Amino acid sequence: MLCGRAADACAEEALATKESALEFRRRVLPPNHPDIGDSMNNLAATYSALGRHEDALAMQESVLEFRRRVLPPRHPDIALSLYNISNSYERAGNMARAVECAREALSIWQAALPPSHPRVTAAAKLVRLLEGQIQGR
């Protein structure tokens, strides 16, 4: 396991790589290409992994806005964005917004995927968890 300066250097390198990938895709792809949203999502995940949760949430919200603009309304990638945002809001203590996003993600995935799909079961579990936290269980 890396620690200290080596880990910091690796983290900064990972962040720079994700930022470069996004910049590259924005430069070479049409402005509404779904791969741009994927790069944005990867950058958000990197922010989260680095503990930069406010940056992660801001990028996740941008990803959701982008995907809502370029994908069909009930596309599974929109659900993935909502699921990620839900987790970020839970981490920030905003349970009402977290459960709202988790429910929407679940609804989209239930319409698009089989009931036993891991994303459906994960979203259903998250909704139950968040509802339990809101109700004090």
Helix 76-92 vs helix 53-70: crossing angle, to nearest 10: 160
pLDDT confidence of 41, banded at 50, 70, 90? very high
pTM (two decimals): 0.89
Question: Model confidence over 3-29: pLDDT tens digits?
Answer: 556 666 788 899 999 999 999 999 999
Question: Model confidence over 48-78: pLDDT tens digits?
Answer: 989 999 999 999 999 999 999 999 999 999 9
